[in-house]
Amino acid sequence: MTPKDHSPEIIEAHGLTTDEYDQIKRLLERTPNITELGIFSAMWNEHCSYKSSRKWLKELPSTGDQVICGPGENAGIVAIDDSLALAFKMESHNHPSYIEPFNGAATGVGGILRDVFTMGARPIAVMNSLSMGSVDNIKTKEILRGVVKGISHYGNSFGVPNVGGELRFHAKYNGNCLVNAFAAGIVNKNEIFYSKATGIGSPIVYMGAKTGRDGVGGASMASESFASDDERNKAKRPTVQIGDPFLEKKLMEACFELMKSGCVIAIQDMGAAGLTCSSVEMGDKGNLGIFLNLDNVPIREDNMTPYEIMLSESQERMLAVIKPGYESQAKEIFSKWDLDFAIIGNTIAEDKFLINFQEKVVASLPLKCLADQAPQYNRPWKTNKATKSYPKIPELTIQRAIEILLSSPNHCSKKWVWEQYDHMILNSTLKRPGLDAAITKIKETNYGLAFSCDSNPLLCSINPLEGGKQAVAECYRNIIASGAIPLAITDNLNFGSPEDPETMGQFVNCIKGIKEACIELNFPVVSGNVSFYNQTDGKSILPTPTIGGVGLIKNIAEHCLGTVNKNDVYYVVGETDTKATALALVSEYSQVQIEDVNIKVNLEEEKRNGQFILHLLNKKLISNAHDVSDGGIGLNLCELAIANDLGFEVIEGSLEYFFNETQARYIISINPLKEKLVISLAKDKKVPITKLGIAKGKSLCFGSNILPLAHVNDLYHDVISNMMEKKID
């Protein structure tokens, strides 16, 4: 019997347009039933199909001598040496975290960890990038508190160190916070696992937790906008998953044991769209069909429908295709770990996604039409013309400028956040969250790894092309400043509606900037995520392309972890343009909309100056290197003073000199005995270098402008904690 046609309301509720629904009917030559409609909804939404972004994502460079696996798998992988590799990925959990901060953020961590260990890699580090509403918004504190608790709960309980990240506040995130989770893990090159199914008649096995109704429709919800009506948003809470980190830990160990048994053909975590997406992706990659019998799926709630089983996003679940004849052995492993294990189907030769339930066919779809034939859009986009009216730096004393920046939630210490995370689990973290990149040691080796998470949404909103380049360049500088060789990046591209030409223009130009920077800096994109529809009542977030970068330290035993010593001499490496915009200072002081900025990213200079810094660190010619980013030389000198509990005396200078945000610069500290050699090397390499002053004392002396270090510490350290304690009327 042909199903009755669905109403416009049902179609809209599934996130499908009328044209897309008509396309489905043409592909099937009939009307889909409700389960089939749900499957199409899950596979054709933005989150799974990348229907508005795929055209542009193909532009990004994803290859290199170091790249083992690029985009398309659960995580990207780069080589460390002939035998070891690093798997890493970043993904968003924005909408769930706004609706249900604790569970949304917690399951964001759980999901990204599964992406990593699905590849056969043991997780060694997580990071996160958080974008919250304004500090005077009544919901900001509630969301931030819940998000941080959720991240802490999952990561600490699972047993993986949280080594860094970033946190920003802006009114543009009032109705839509961003929670981007990053994870990295170590794997042997000959023990990497992929999600491509092979072999006709191979068993498909379900592993892990039971399936419930939590998260049904989660992937579709992630491709929707919010409304200002909180009650409407609260109604979406059932679409937020609930996680169990202790169960996930058992699931990981069981999966590793299964992998070692030699029976795994393909493996995939059940993330967005649950059983639907995981099974379709494995079949599609192997050009095979999939048969599933839902009667065999372990469930924890009564009377679940096929629709609910297929679209549930219950956490801590995996799907695998295994070699025939290994079923009993595989089941034994999961029984030992007290986890569910069930054979729920098999691969088939036909291009079919065939689903049975209670001895009836409940879905019969061409599998390829769910993946390859998902709509792909070339959305119209436009670039807003800049006004060329650069904001003037306010008339302030240097002392007052420093006080404004250090007391801002955007530029103060984020210890309130990272002190809730255990960054010492596994006893491998060598540099805790704070300045530049975090550093961890790979156990039983001499290798170290550097991790950094970076974005500049304000710059991206004003000049998306330069903002895209800057995000990559800053990540590159942070890794360089840690003494590591930059290897590759993952990106999390957070934007508003792609149906808005201005938003789409921001996305396109950010992509172009990221592409330019990655090519010039040999910093390929090996994994990532696009998160669209981050908006409320049509008002978008700031464009926020977040870059997660990794770097390699070949000999951690001889590595300089970067301590500024008394009487070290401070220099700035890189040319300073005093006409460059002091973006952080202007935005924090005036809180006015900035139409244009004079901030340009010269990628040749980034590469030249970065390689020079890396040479100095490797030769131990400098004590410390620190990237000059937000707040310019002035703020970054203060950060060094605070981190090392050591003041300084530097040259007299203008606000324009100390707070402009010229790119491609580093502050270095040099032992006076090595000063002449460093200057000589800089001259030989044609790298600009300018003396700033000396590290000494307990005051921050910008010429005649003096700030006691104790005063600076008081401003810097307790901003977030005081904010969280303050009542908002």
Mean of the pLDDT values across residues 502-509? 97
Interatomic CA distance for residues 108 and 98, integer angstroms: 12
Q: Is the dihedral of CA 87, 216, 541, 153 positive or negative?
A: negative
pLDDT of residue 276: 96
Reported for 586-592, long-range contacts at CB under 8 A and 24+ positions apart, including other chains, are 586/391, 586/392, 586/393, 586/394, 587/458, 588/404, 588/405, 588/408, 588/410, 588/411, 589/394, 589/396, 589/401, 589/404, 590/391, 590/394, 592/391
Interatomic CA distance for residues 482 and 471, integer angstroms: 17
> Using an 8 Å Cβ cutoff, are 455 and 547 in contact?
yes
pLDDT tens, residue by residue, 473-489: 999 999 999 999 999 99
In sequence order, what are the residues at sequence separation of 6 or more whose Cβ sits closer than 8 angstroms to the Cβ of residue 714?
Answer: none
Check pLDDT > 60 for residue 599. Answer: yes
Candidates 145, 223, 150, 141; CA nearest to 174 is 141
Percent of the chain whose pLDDT exceeds 70: 96
> Using an 8 Å Cβ cutoff, are 397 and 705 in contact?
yes
Distances (CA, A) of 161 to 10, 121, 418, 486: 44, 15, 11, 21
Strands of 340-348's sheet in order across: 264-269, 317-322, 203-208, 340-348, 289-293, 353-357, 360-365
Check pLDDT > 70 for residue 223. Answer: no
Check pLDDT > 90 for residue 517. Answer: yes
Mean of the pLDDT values across residues 518-540? 96
Check pLDDT > 70 for residue 233. Answer: no
Q: Flag the least confident range among 237-251, 302-316, 571-585.
A: 237-251
Q: How confident is the model at residue 591 (pLDDT cuts 50, 70, 90)?
A: low
pLDDT tens, residue by residue, 172-202: 999 999 999 999 999 999 999 999 999 999 9
Mean of the pLDDT values across residues 200-214? 96
pLDDT tens, residue by residue, 312-338: 999 999 999 999 999 999 999 999 999
Q: Rounded to the nearest 5°, which phi and psi values hold at 694?
A: -125, 145
pLDDT tens, residue by residue, 92-151: 999 999 999 999 999 999 999 999 999 999 999 999 999 999 999 999 999 999 999 999
194: left (phi over 0), alpha (psi -120 to 50) or beta: beta
Altogether, the residues listed in the chain come to a count of 729
Q: Is the pTM of this model over 0.75?
A: yes
Q: Flag the least confident range among 291-295, 411-415, 572-576, 663-667.
A: 411-415
Q: Flag the least confident range among 370-384, 424-438, 598-612, 636-650.
A: 424-438
Mean of the pLDDT values across residues 638-655? 95
Q: Is 47 a catalytic residue?
A: yes
Task: Read off the tokens for 246.
Answer: 């202790």
Longest CA–CA separation in the chain, Å = 88
pLDDT of residue 219: 46
Q: How confident is the model at residue 236 (pLDDT cuts 50, 70, 90)?
A: very low
Q: Is the dihedral of CA 582, 583, 586, 588 positive or negative?
A: negative
pLDDT tens, residue by residue, 689-725: 999 999 999 999 999 999 999 999 999 999 999 999 8
Q: Which of 6, 14, 47, 95 is catalytic?
A: 47
Q: How confident is the model at residue 229 (pLDDT cuts 50, 70, 90)?
A: low
Check pLDDT > 90 for residue 553. Answer: yes
Mean pLDDT of the chain: 93
Interatomic CA distance for residues 588 and 639, integer angstroms: 17
Task: Read off the tokens for 631.
Answer: 């707040």
> Using an 8 Å Cβ cutoff, are 100 and 149 in contact?
no
Residue with tokens 């992988």: 77
Candidates 187, 199, 219; CA nearest to 118 is 187
As beta bridge partners, residue 728 has none
Cβ burial, residue 394 (10 Å; 0-12/13-18/19+): middle
Mean of the pLDDT values across residues 635-662? 95
Interatomic CA distance for residues 42 and 579, integer angstroms: 50
Q: What one-letter code names the amino acid at 456? A: N
Check pLDDT > 80 for residue 405. Answer: yes
Q: How confident is the model at residue 221 (pLDDT cuts 50, 70, 90)?
A: very low
Check pLDDT > 70 for residue 609. Answer: yes
- Pick the most confident of 326-335, 418-427, 431-440: 326-335
Candidates 466, 480, 686; CA nearest to 580 is 466
Check pLDDT > 70 for residue 571. Answer: yes
Q: How confident is the model at residue 560 (pLDDT cuts 50, 70, 90)?
A: confident
pLDDT of residue 592: 67
Task: Read off the tokens for 61.
Answer: 């460079």
Check pLDDT > 90 for residue 160. Answer: yes
As beta bridge partners, residue 539 has 536
Q: Which of 6, 93, 153, 559 is catalytic?
A: 93
Interatomic CA distance for residues 339 and 415, integer angstroms: 37
Candidates 226, 503, 509; CA nearest to 379 is 503
Q: Flag the least confident range among 111-120, 215-224, 464-473, 538-547.
A: 215-224
pLDDT tens, residue by residue, 53-96: 999 999 999 999 999 999 999 999 999 999 999 999 999 999 99
pLDDT tens, residue by residue, 238-267: 557 788 999 999 999 999 999 999 999 999
pLDDT of residue 358: 96
pLDDT of residue 230: 56
